[in-house]
Every structure is written in C-alpha cells, then in structure tokens.
Homo-oligomer: A and B are copies of this chain.
C-alpha cells in the first residue's frame, strides 16, 4: 500500500487542465488514463474545472452501442485578457481570450513620452471600452500583458534605464495594472512580447528564434530552448546600439556614434529622407512612400536591410537560430528590407549556421505585440499552480457567500 503522501505527486486540477489542453478533446476515460488518476479523484478535479467554466462539454464521440461518453475540452472563453503594446508613437491594445486570440482591437497615435500617469489610465479606459463592446466587465479580465519600448526588470515589472521613456524609470507598471484590474499583470520589452507572439502562434516547433523589431528604434527578442531569453539584466536582444562600422558614423539618439539604429532605425530613415528634401515625419511615412514605389525611400530601406543584415550575420554566427523573423513598422516594407537582410546574412554568416536558416517576414504584422503580450500573461495564469490558486479562491468565495448572511445575522 503506497504511503499517503505519494498522492501529493498526483496531478491537481490545474495539471489536469494542462493535460486536457494537450489532448484538445478527451473523454473521462482518456483523461483518467493520461493523468493516472482514479475515477473519484478525476471527477473531483473535473467538477472544479467545470464549475469555473474552464472546461466544457464538446461534441459526442460516435456511439459504440451504449450511451456515448461525454467529451471535454478547455474553454478559452472562461476569461479574458488584455494585451497592450505601448510603442514610441503608437499604442495598441487588444482584448483576447485566454489563449491570446484577439476579440477586440484598438490603436491610437500616442507618445510614450507622455509618461505613465497619462498613458496607463488611457490603456485602462480603452480596455474598459473594448470590454463593454464585448458585453464584458472588469471582473471578466483574468490577466494583463503589457509591452514597452525599453528594457524591463521582469520580476519587478518596471522599466529600467530606457533612454527614450522619460518619466517611466522605475515606475511600478505591473503593480499599477494589478491594482486597477485586480488580476495578475506582466510587463516586458516590446521585442520580447513580439518574439513570443510569433513563436507561440507560428513557430512553436522551433526552439531557437530571433524576432527583429525594425521600427522607429531597432530591437530584438530572443527565444532560446522555446522560452524568452531576457539575459542577466533584461537587456538581451539589444542589437540597436551595437556599433556599425560603415563609412559615416552618424550620432545616435543614445549619445554614442555609429549605432546600428542611427543608420537603420526608422528615425534615421526619416532624417536621411528629409536631408534629401523629402517630406516625412515618421517611420510609417517612409513605409508608405516605399509602398508607392518611391525610389529614394526604397533605396533607404534596402540599405537599412543591409546594415541590419550585417549585425544579424554576427548574431546568427553566435546564436545559431532556426528562424529570424523581421517585423516592426519598417518590417512592413517586407520586400526591400528582407532582401537587404537576406543578401547580407547569407553572404557573411557561416555556412553551417545558415544551412537551414529561415529569414521570414512577421506573420502577425503590427499585432504581434498585443498578441504576444496576451500570450505572456496567458502562460502565467494558465500554469497549473495559478489555476489551482484561482480554483481555491473561487471555492473560498462561494463558501464565504453562503456564510455571509449567517455572519451578518450574528453581528
């Protein structure tokens, strides 16, 4: 007879949900077998998940004579997530289901420089407005994921030393959202959430991928062994301020000279086009011109691609990824930018490192950020331990609700 504590190793309700998500659809019999749970233990856990609406009945399995067995599946509409991507000059926000599928979306030209005390309340108001459009309320929100254009202390959930986010340094973004929405929030660097969004949505079968954000600034999100690599200080992927050794060495907005971003960043393209008398003010303008086949804009973007290609060639030698995904505002001018990058990477990287390397455009486009932000918080709240905590809290609440009248009567 096994010692009673051996039961501690048996799957909890949260772990059972993870097994069901792997299976997609399963009967009681399949679940009991996969989870190695007794009928009784399985039913107890399933009841909790059904109560919380996290599991629902799916279509019936073809009958083999008797009563057909009920099929169960995970219900991603049991709760909702907020995914926000706060860029330098555009803010994007989405309401998604529990696995990051977009149900409602909004974007607006907003400057990150306005600071947290203007920006965060705007996010909250937008979220509430999108939720009400879906006929949902604040307490339907289970998690908030937010991307920002600068390095983040991930555990603390706040920005550190971001050169273009004045007013944000050490502001407690995570706590602000947790306080406002009463649910877990996670904050990460924009390139990281975009990398996660692309990986989880399209490239999950590859362990090592890079996402290059070619926007106003230049950044990179790194997936190693299937997970985000943030580095020792959360600054991993910062390829925008690697020194590019070309002819001219333009001044970067970081104060150094010759940074990759000072040649290939959206703001640098705007600077270069203006110097040639072309009226542009944002990276979006440059991409629009290129879309209209403007020769100068196309050349500028192609050159940016080559410069990005040079730094990526080094990074590919060092990191040996399977896929390099190119996104961001400038990344929307796929053809020219990718051509420049591919040309340089395939020429300069080691043959072994490029043998199976894919260099591809972003599949999620400019929504990579909001989707990735939602997926980041999704993974936190759907972790078995987090689900178990939620179920325990719900049981506590319903217990409390049923005892409140008696307690009130007694006081």
Contacts and interface: CB of A to CB of B under 8 A. Distances in A.
A233 B36 contact: no
A contact residues, range = 35 or more
A224 interface: yes
Given A6-B7, A36-B5, A317 B232 contact: no
Interface stretch (A119-127, A176-184, A352-360, A391-399): A352-360
Contact of A208 (B5, B36, B161, B231): B231
A241 B9 contact: no
A320 interface: yes
Stoichiometry (number of copies): 2
Given A317-B239, A353-B231, A357-B232, A36 B10 contact: no
Given A160-B352, A208-B231, A3 B38 contact: yes
Contacts of A7: 2, 6
Nearest to A231: B320
A318 interface: yes
Given A239-B318, A318-B315, A232 B3 contact: no
Given A36-B3, A233-B355, A356-B233, A317 B208 contact: no
A201 interface: no
Interface in A1-44: 2-10, 36-39, 41
A314 interface: yes
A282 interface: no
Contacts of A317: 235, 238-239, 241-242
Contacts of A231: 208, 319-321, 353
B227 A318 contact: no
Contacts of A311: 314
Nearest to A239: B318
Interface string A209-242: 0000000000010101101011111111111011
B36 A9 contact: yes
Contacts of A220: 318
Contacts of A232: 206-208, 320-322, 353, 356-357
A143 interface: no
12 contacts: A2-B2, A6-B38, A9-B36, A208-B236, A224-B224, A233-B352, A236-B318, A237-B320, A238-B350, A238-B352, A242-B314, A314-B315
Given A161-B352, A232-B322, A239-B318, 20 more contacts: A2-B2, A3-B38, A6-B37, A208-B229, A208-B231, A222-B318, A225-B225, A231-B353, A232-B353, A233-B352, A235-B317, A235-B352, A235-B353, A236-B318, A238-B352, A242-B313, A242-B318, A243-B348, A315-B318, A318-B319
Interface of A: 2-10, 36-39, 41, 151, 160-161, 206-208, 220, 222, 224-225, 227, 229-239, 241-243, 245, 311, 313-315, 317-322, 348, 350-353, 355-357
Task: For the complex of A and B, list the 10 residue pairs with the smallest distance between their C-beta atoms, beginning with the closest.
Answer: A231-B320, A3-B38, A9-B9, A245-B245, A236-B320, A232-B322, A5-B36, A235-B352, A242-B314, A235-B320
